[in-house]
Every structure is written in structure tokens, then in C-alpha cells.
Structure 1
Amino acid sequence: MDAAQTLAHHRPFNHTDQGMNQTAGLIGLGAMGAGIAATLRARGYEMHVCDARPDAAASFARDGGVACATPAQVGAACEVVVSVVVNAQQTESVLFGDQGAAVAMRPGSVFVMCSTVDPNWSIALEQRLNAMGIHYVDAPISGGAAKAASGQMTVMSSARPEAYAKADPVLDAMAGKVYRLGDRAGAGSKVKIINQLLAGVHIAAAAEAMALGLREGVAADALYEVITHSAGNSWMFENRMAHVLAADYTPLSAVDIFVKDLGLVLDTARASKFPLPLASTAHQMFMQASTAGYGREDDSAVIKIFPGIELPGHQFPLAD
């Protein structure tokens, strides 16, 4: 499928397409998953949801929907099940663990996988599910919690035509842009890890620039104002350095996410002996931040690896 075909297959959600009296399942009510579930509910779907934290599912269901105790309950109730968990290991558990969804899903139903994973793992998962009579959509997502909640996030998908036939209404309802990148699993995950290469490098570069400014005595808020209105700006600088200015490292996307995702990028490139010097450096920076104890903080906390700077909200400079 060429680029023109890919764009032609994008069909924005139309409110006349609302899934009245239709059900959909979602597993994983984190920052992105909760937003996706709320968007689908607002667009007419009866949502069956499940999370490792039962309180999260119960809280969602209080505003409409059904809280399920296990992924199997979601799989039994819904023909389309969307999984929004952290990684391949959690996806395996959702599908094949105790009370996993796969054993309960009916033949002809579809599993939509939204995690960032090794593309080869995603290809193998499609084969495993197809052997069980279950369709599969390789559908990593991007855009952050706010865009997920407003239905404006991006989906980078690839799937067999019969999987798209079943999943298309849900995909178009939950996202602002759905890119259909191929007729089998793998392409969606490849594009996502390339996106993560850029995201990780941009965050690392933004942190480096802000750290240099602080080291040189530039006022952090002034630097942020100038850069966000100059050619050196990036979406990641504007978004993540705002977290630094607010001294708010609440993990919307954690340091350890980029340890994982940039690791996937490097593993993919290593298999074909393709050099990625910038991604390698950014990965080391996130690794350093994680080792220093910041792994569960917001990924903007990578700025904390730089010595001799006083961050907003810190009373004393970080140690040299």
C-alpha cells in the first residue's frame, strides 16, 4: 500500500456513524486508555472495561459502561477488544494469562493492540491469534492523554483486510487520524518505533538545551518563551519543558518508557546493522536517569542527569 492509498484510507469519525447499541471492550485504563474509553463512550459505544486496578474500572463505569473483573470477561462480551497496556509482556498477560481475553473471544472477533512493541513480536502475535480464529490490528498510538480524551490522537495501524472490516468503526471513533499502513501486522509498529526515536531524541535534546541555559544563568521561563517562538522549538520542547518549569514530574510518560522504546528502536536497527548515533545517545541519557532513581518520573526528568544546575522548584543545585 503506497502513501496515496494510505491517506485515502483515512476516514475521520462522523457523528452519523455513532455506534449506538454497539459494544466495545478496552483493557488498560492508564492515561491513554482512559481517554480512549471515554471517547468511545461519548461516541455511542457501550464500553466494557478492565484494568489491573479494579477501582479504575469501577470509577469509569460509574459514568456509563460495564466494569469487568478480568480480560476474559471483556473478550466474552465484545467483538472488538482494544488493549492499551505498556508493553508486549503485559499484552501477553492480557491475552494469554490467567483469565486472559484470547480464550474467551469468539471466532471472528478482533483484538486491537495499541502498545509500542517489537514489530517482529507483533507479526508473530497476528499469526497466533489468526490460528485461534481471532483477527488482529497492529495499532500503536501517539498524541498523549489529552488528545486521547478528545478523540484527536493518531493511530499507526496495519492489519489484514478482514480485521479492518471489523475494527474500522472503532478505530475511526477513537482517533483523529487513523493511518492504515499495510495489509498485515508489523508496519504499524515499525512506524511507531520510528516516531519514538524522534520523540526520545527531541526530549533529550530539549533537556540538554534547558540544562545549558540554566548552567549559564539564563532565566528558565525567559528561555522557554524565546525558544517556543523561535526556529529551535519542537513539540517536545514546548510540552516537556513546561513540566520542568512547573517542577511537575508526574509521569504522563515515564523515563522508563523511553528506556524501553529506544531500546526497541536500537534492537530493530541492530538486526540490520544500521547505525543510530543520536538514538543511542538519547537511550543512554534515559538509562542514566533511570539508574539515578528517576525511572518512574515524567520523561522530562531526564534533565536531572545534568550536573551543577538548579532546576525550578529545587532549593539546592543538583550534585556535580
Structure 2
Amino acid sequence: MSSTTPGSTTTATETASAAAAVPPRTAVIGLGAMGLPMARHLAGALPVTVFDISAERRALAVADGAAEVTTPADAARDADVVLLAVRDQAQVDSALFGPDGVAPALRAGAVVLLTSTVGPDAARATATALAEYGALLVDAPISGGPTRAGNGDLLIVVGAEPAALDRARPVLDRLASTLTVIGGNPGDGQALKAINQLLAGVHIAAAAEAVALARGVGLDPRTVIDSLSQGAAGSFMFADRGPRMAQAYGDDADAVEVRSRLDIFVKDMGIVTGIAKNAHVPVPLASAAEQLYLLGERAGLAGRDDSSIVTVLSPVSEGDR
């Protein structure tokens, strides 16, 4: 069974969901890029009820065995674990405390599993607000992307009281290939996720600069990406985002798949730089990357894949088509 000691890291193959003698009834609120594949994967092993404002997205989850409802409250009413997979803290507050929200409908002993990246202060404030309803928060931001979410192959970092973590454990074990319990309080998981996003955001920005420079000196970006991804200069983000950056200049540019919206990194790098400022830690590279994402948002790329940031540095021209 996975260790719950703060700072421990376990793999899914090392864990056994001993607590899941009776599978927890699970509600998934938010069926976006990450919420839908998580709901589908959970529905293969647990009783799952879903809510999203999109009936089309709910239908996709129902096709894989979930039940659907039309309000967050209805999803939460009989749930043991309520998983939130929404974009930002405004959506967290709306789902939990807005009209037909989760919090008043929670049953005794239910826990809220927060998978969104909102920052430590927001997570702590949410935990305090939930405590007024007698509920506990498991702060568990996720990394890995939609494909890994659908395969139960996510990296999940957790900050939670042991009692809350125990109740959410079957859901976490179903979703994670690597589960790190970083601390015993909500906000601890968000702090580690912010460090993850610092690295990811800087790596994407660096990949964009490399592709832009390759174009500037007349090299084929695809060749550059294929070559450098194999060496010391490579990174996961360069190998993953690089091909989509190159695609932005081809005839199939309009078909670039949106795997992670650019405005997610506007939000997340803002969280990173805010935390760093409060901690009096200089983060010049993260700050520069944040400005690049803001430029991309201003250029109308907010809803595009974050790889599109390369077009801010090296704009698409008539000759690219």
C-alpha cells in the first residue's frame, strides 16, 4: 500500500487499494481536457457520476459507464469523493459554493479532491471554507496531459490530512502512476505543482526560442527537433511541443491539436511568480516566460495549444503555406 509519509513517492504498481473493499462513489465535476479522460478511466473501476455544463461532454462520459446529472449538487449528493477538474479558482468557487454547488450537498464523511492548479493560498482558503460544511480537502494537482489521464498514468502531488487522504486513496491510485505525498496540509501539493509548472513553462518557452532561431537561420525546424531531442539539449517539452511548433508553419497548421491551452500557462506562471515574490525568491526565467505567454494571449492565442507561442517569436508568413 502506498505510504502516506510526507515527502514519499510511490508508484501505482507498488500500491494496493486495500481501502477500496467498497469502491467509493465518485463525482467528477468538470469534463474538460483532463476531467473527461479521468472520468472515463475512473468509470472503468468505480461508480462515477459526472457534471459539466456541456451535455455533449457528459454524454461522452456516459458512453464509458458514468452516470450524468445536471448540477454539481446532484453529482455530489451521494458521493464519497468529489473530484474537481476545473480551470481556475473562480470555477472552483462556483462549483463548490455557487448556486446548486457541491458544498451544501456533501454527505457526511465525503472529501473534495482538488486536481486543478490554483496556488497554495487558494487551496488553503478552499479548505477553510469547506471545513464550515464539515468537509475535508485533498489538494492533489495533476500533471501528464489528457492521454496519460485516460490511462491512469498521471503524476499527482498531494497535500492532505491523513484521514482525508485515506478516503481519496482509491481514486488517486486509479489515476496515478506516481503519487507523491508532499505534506499533510492543503496547499502543500499546490506548492510543488507550482515548481513543476515553473520548469514546464520555462522549457516550453526555451523550445519556442530554439525553433524560432532555427527558422531564422534557415534550418528545417523538424530536422532540428528530431536531432536535438536525442541529445543533452533535449527535454520532454522540446520533444513533445516541438513537432507541434513545427506544424504551425505547415499546410496543416489549422489541425494542431489543443492538448494544453496557452492561457493555462498565463494562469500558472502568474501563480509561480506570485509565490516567488511572496517568498522573496528571484525567478528571472519564469518571469520572462510569463511575459511571453501574456504576449501570446494578447495576440489572440489564448485558446490555442501552448506550442503556438512559437509564432509570437517567429510569425507565420505567406511563404509558410
> Do both proteins adopt the same fold according to a TM-score greater than 0.5, normalized to the shorter chain?
yes
Deviation of 1:77 (Å): 2.1
Within a 5 Å distance, the mapping from 1:166-177 to structure 2 comes to 166-177=167-178
Confirm or deny that 1:200 pairs with 2:207: no
Paired with 1:231 and 1:35, the residues of 2 have a C-alpha distance of 33
Residue 316 (1) aligns with residue 305 (2)? no
Shift in Å at residue 242 of structure 1? 1.4
- How has the CA–CA distance of structure 1 residues 305 and 11 changed in structure 2, closer, same or farther, with 3 Å as cutoff? closer
Q: Which amino acid aligns with 2:270?
A: G
Find the partner of 2:40 among 38, 41, 47: 38
1:258 to 256, 265, 279: 265
Aligned length: 312
Q: CA deviation at 1:244?
A: 1.9
Amino acid at match of 1:279: A
SS in 1 for 2:112: strand
Residues 147-205 of structure 1 deviation map (CA, whole Å, 9 limit, x = unaligned): 10110011111101110121111111121111111111111000001110110000000
The aligned residue for residue 180 of structure 2 is: 179
Identity score, percent: 35
Task: Give the Cα–Cα distance (whole angstroms) in 2 for the partners of residues 38 and 18 of structure 1.
Answer: 18
How many Å apart are 1:272 and its aligned residue?
2.6
Deviation digits for residues 49-69 of structure 1, max 9, x if unmatched? 011212211221133120111
Secondary structure of 1:99 counterpart: coil
Q: Could you tell me which amino acid in structure 1 is paired with residue 92 of structure 2?
A: T
Aligned equivalents of 1:244, 1:19: Cα separation in 2: 47
Unmatched 5+ residue regions in structure 2? 248-252
The offset of 1:316, in angstroms, is 3.2
Aligned equivalents of 2:232, 2:206: Cα separation in 1:
14
Give 3-state SS (helix, strand or coil) of 1:181's partner: strand
Residues 178/234 of structure 1: CA separation in 2 closer, same or farther (3 Å cut): same
Q: Which SS does the other structure have where 2:116 is aligned?
A: coil
Deviations 1:28-87 (A, max 9, x none): 111111111111112x21110011212211221133120111110111021101011111
What SS does the aligned partner of 2:137 have? Answer: strand
- What SS is found at the alignment partner of 2:104? coil
User: Are 2:40 and 2:65, in contact at CA under 8 Å, matched by a contact in 1?
Assistant: no
Residue 107 of structure 1: CA displacement? 2.3
Q: Aligned partners of 1:21, 1:277: CA distance in 2, in Å?
A: 46
Whether 2:112 is the aligned partner of 1:111: answer: yes
Residue in 1 that maps onto 2:161: 160
Give 2:29's aligned residue: 27
Q: Tell me which of 293, 298, 306 is aligned to 2:300.
A: 293
The Cα offsets for residues 90-111 of structure 1, whole Å up to 9 and x where unpaired, read as 0111101111011100121000
State the partner residue of 2:103: 102
C-alpha deviation, 1:225, in angstroms:
1.1
3-state SS of the aligned residue for 2:26?
A: strand
CA 1:15–1:182 in structure 2 vs 1: closer, same or farther (change >3 Å)? closer
Deviation of 1:131 (Å)? 2.4
What secondary structure, in the 3-state scheme, does the structure 1 residue paired with 2:183 have?
Answer: coil
Q: Give the equivalent residue in structure 1 for 2:290.
A: 283
Unpaired runs of at least 5, structure 1: none
Supply the distance in 1 between the matched residues of 2:244 and 2:20 (Cα, whole angstroms): 36
SS at structure 1 position matched to 2:86: coil
CA offsets 1:256-275 (integer angstroms, 9 cap, x no match) = 11111100111111113221
1:155 counterpart letter in structure 2:
I
The residue number in structure 1 matching 2:125 is 124
TM-score, structure 2 as length reference:
0.91
Letter in 1 for 2:35: G
Question: Is 1:269 matched up with 2:269?
Answer: no
Q: Distance in 1 between matches of 2:150 and 2:12?
A: 19
Secondary structure of 2:60 counterpart: helix
CA RMSD of aligned residues (A): 2.2
Q: Structure 1, residues 95-128: CA drift from partner, whole Å, max 9, x if none? A: 0111101110012100000111120111121121
Separation (CA, whole Å) in 2 of partners of 1:186 and 1:16? 27
* Structure 2 residue aligned with 1:66: 67
- Answering whether residue 53 of structure 2 is matched by residue 52 of structure 1, we say yes
Q: Hey, what's the Cα distance between the residues in 2 that align with 1:8 and 1:175? A: 11
Q: What corresponds to 2:250 in structure 1?
A: none
